[in-house]
Every structure is written in C-alpha cells, then in structure tokens.
C-alpha cells in the first residue's frame, strides 16, 4: 500500500492527483504544530464522492485511506488536542480515469 505523509505546518490545503480505483493511505503529521500538546481525537470527513477507510491516529499524527470516483473529492482531517484546541487540514483528490494505450487492444 502507498503512504503519503503531509506536514500540517506547511500544507493547509493540498491538491493531489490519484488514479481511479486507487486507495492510498494519507497521514497528516501535526507534530510541528502541537509543541507539548497531543492529539486527543481525530475525525475525517469527505465531500463529494470521497470514501474514507482505516482511520487511526497517534498523539502526533492522523491517518486514513482515501479514495474517490473519477473527478474530485475533498477530505478534511480535524483534530482536537488534549488542551482543547481544534484545527483542520484539507486534502483534495483529483482522480483521473485509468487509461490504457490503444496498442493494448490491438493485435
């Protein structure tokens, strides 16, 4: 499985291209923003036709496997820290149709 790690400090809204039928694990690394605080809860939400699976988090990062139909889908990871602060980051997937060269169908 592929894994992509995004740094919450430098990436507020990220646009990523992904192939149709791909389900890729994305991780948001919150460590640089937390200082001595920790993640108490993490939730992922999807807009459009996005699908979320395998959500998990540690005290400094949040992960989920994201997929979508052809087009685009926006996902949001929202955390609440042990000190009660909240923050969120967005990932927008631009999903391209799987394309095969015409030569694959010719004898």
CB proximity list for 3: less than 8 A, separation 6 or greater: 24, 25, 26, 27
Q: What is the DSSP letter of 10?
A: T
Per-residue pLDDT averaged across 70-92, rounded? 95
pLDDT band of residue 99 (cuts 50, 70, 90) is: low
Q: 45-67: per-residue pLDDT in tens? A: 999 889 999 999 999 999 999 99
Contact 44, 89 (CB under 8 A): no
- pTM listed for this prediction: 0.84
The structure tokens listed for 27 are 């991780």
At 8, phi and psi to the nearest 5?
Answer: -65, -25
């Amino acid at each position: 499985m592929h894994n992509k790690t995004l740094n919450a400090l430098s990436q507020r809204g990220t646009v990523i291209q992904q192939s149709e039928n791909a389900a890729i694990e994305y991780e948001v690394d919150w460590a640089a923003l937390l200082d001595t605080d920790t993640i108490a809860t993490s939730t992922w939400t999807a807009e459009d036709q996005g699908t979320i699976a395998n959500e998990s988090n540690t005290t400094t990062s949040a992960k989920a496997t994201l997929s979508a139909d052809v087009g685009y889908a926006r996902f949001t990871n929202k955390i609440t820290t042990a000190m009660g602060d909240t923050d969120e980051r967005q990932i927008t997937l631009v999903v391209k149709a799987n394309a095969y060269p015409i030569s694959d169908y010719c004898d």
